[in-house]
Amino acid sequence: MGDKATISRGEGALTYRELAAIARGEAELALDATSQARLRNGRAIVERIIAKGERAYGISTGLGALSDIVLSGAQQAQLSRNTLMSHACGVGEALPIAATRAIMASLVNDLAHGHSGVSPAVVDQLVALLNTGVTPVVPRRGSVGYITHGAHIGLALIGIGDAAVDGKTMPAATALTAAGLAPVTLGAKDGLCLVNGTRCLTGLAALALAEAELLADWADVTAAMSFEALKGQIAAFDPDLLALKPHPGLLRVGTRLRALLKDSEIVARHQGCRTQDALSIRAIPQVHGAARDQIDHVRRQIEIELGSATDNPLVLGSPEAYRVISNAHPHGQSLALAMDLLGMAMAELGGIAERRLDRLINPATSTLPPFLVAEPGVNSGMMIAQYAAASLAAENRLLAQPLVTDNFITSAQQEDHISLGTPSALKCGDIIANTRRILAIEYLLAAQAFEFYPGLAPGRGTRAAYSTLRAEIPAYDADRFLAPDIALVERRLADGNWASRIASCLD
């Protein structure tokens, strides 16, 4: 995939930021000698179980409700292939490339703990696909917690299904050949190792967390711009005042807002113009800070999961002294709760941003020209941009309803409690995308509001945000096609470059 940094999976697990970098194609993945030794040890235990003819779930038995059926030697390897074939029943549109790669990187990370007993060649094949840019085409829907997405990925390893290479979809067998790879041969338990555990959920969660962290920073930036444009009263962000309610996120947001607004002539000019601001303006530290506190909690859950072995069964010890234990580590309850929580936090960032941008276009609350256009009437200005934000916020309210409290019975009552963590992670990603679009609209509107403060300089950080935007998108002197501008800002909010430019201007 080119000259890129290499991230090594060694003694410790991948971090969520490393996983996100691999998912985005920013880095390649390697396994160090420690990981390789653990893989060989785990596989040797599985081979010892097979040689001794022991009964072990998924190695010498069927799966799920079929776990009481004992398989012969030849059937054990056939089960692996059949597992992938029967479990690859996803539906709907394909996952984005980054999401599939996140799952693949998470799968490698989990298997590298060495407790699954997978054939090392399977992990080598996963790493090779990541590093050569061969991405299995994986349907987005069809998982209650795990299984389906991993099965589609697993099929690509053996040359079945489709894969994407450089934006083109082709048969997986063709993609393997083009990358100089051959289909891998599956052994006993390999199929189960590919579909089991919380790897799918963990990969998607790590990607969502990385996006949510960046989005929280952007929310502070666009909020500070709206605060300024709406003549906010800076006393609400006083450090001594905020210290009286010392939630970590609240204090952090207060510090960021003061840095963004430092030396603002707009803020200084309008102090005392009202007794207090509306809550969408006055409570930015409280609302944004609460979201950051939830992000911190989610980060801890993901870090623990990345450091966990989540297969069933797991093998412990050495080939000379081992245990194979059936367990429930594939249950994703902790991350399912975390993803529901992160979705709610991100929806709240979008919800309060929509309230702020609504105030920007309303002359009754902004004292600016209606819809932020110089000649209202012949021009509609930003009128319908607020409609779009309201639509996205409404969609987020529905998506933010928790999934983890629901339950279905699967596998003939063998799996009678499920987390629904993977669909929760997917909808969390949808909420993040919607909130990014809302913030993009707020960014455009707040910058447009600055046009009506001639001669007054914005704050140090908000000035950098304004000039960064204006370098690519001019002010609106009259109505023009808005959708491309919104789409451009949305992309810039996601890539991190603009954020770095603004951060460099802060103390």
pLDDT tens profile 485-507:
999 999 999 988 899 889 988 86
How far apart, in whole angstroms, are the C-alpha atoms of residue 351 and residue 435?
8
- Cβ proximity of 469 and 448 under 8 Å: no
Using an 8 Å Cβ cutoff, are 335 and 305 in contact?
Answer: yes
Strands 5-9 and 27-31: parallel
* Environment class of 168 (CB within 10 Å of its CB; exposed 0-12, middle 13-18, buried 19+): exposed
Q: Would you mind telling me the total number of residues written for the chain in this entry? A: 507
Do 450 and 225 contact (CB within 8 A), yes or no? Answer: yes
Mean pLDDT, the chain, as a whole number? 93
State which residues of the chain have pLDDT below 50: 1
pLDDT computed for residue 314 by the predictor: 95
- Token reading at 389: 């934000």
The confidence score (pLDDT) of residue 52 equals 86
Region of residue 409 (left: phi > 0; alpha: psi -120 to 50; beta: else): beta
Backbone torsions φ then ψ of 471, nearest 5 degrees = -65, -20
pLDDT at 12: 94
Q: Which of 486, 472, 477, 458 is CA-nearest to residue 229?
A: 458
- Predicted pLDDT at 1: 47
Where do the H-state alpha helices sit in 324-456? 333-361, 363-366, 383-399, 421-450
Which CATH code of 1.20.200.10, 3.40.50.280, 3.40.50.300, 3.40.50.2300 fits the domain covering 205-503? 1.20.200.10
Quick: pLDDT tens for 136-162. 999 998 777 678 999 999 999 999 999
Tokens of 310: 């989540």
Structural contact between residues 225 and 440, judged by C-beta atoms closer than 8 angstroms: no
C-alpha–C-alpha distance, residues 351 and 346, integer Å: 9
Instruction: State the Cα torsion 154-159-161-166 to the nearest 10°.
Output: 100
16 is catalytic: no
* Cβ burial, residue 283 (10 Å; 0-12/13-18/19+): middle
Spot the catalytic one: 16, 57, 443, 476.
57
- Whether omega before 313 lies within 30 degrees of 0, making that bond cis, reads yes
Q: Would you say 323 and 49 are in contact if contact means Cβ atoms under 8 Å apart?
A: no
Calculate ∠ Cα 332-403-103, nearest 5°.
45
Distance CA 247, CA 285 (A): 10
Q: How far apart are CA 425 and CA 403, in angstroms?
A: 10
Instruction: Concatenate the DSSP letters of all residues of 415-432 into one string.
Output: B-----HHHHHHHHHHHH
Q: What is the DSSP string of 433-450?
A: HHHHHHHHHHHHHHHHHH
Token pair in block for residue 199: 């790897």
222 phi, psi to nearest 5 deg: -70, -35
How close are the terminal C-alpha atoms of the chain, in Å? 37
For the chain, the structural domain boundaries read 5-196, 205-503
CA-to-CA dists, residue 117 to 7, 43, 120, 149, 318, angstroms: 23, 4, 9, 20, 11
Q: Per the structure block, which two tokens stand in for 212?
A: 């949510």
pTM of the predicted model, to two decimals?
A: 0.94
Fold of the 5-196 domain = Fumarase C; Chain B, domain 1 (1.10.275)
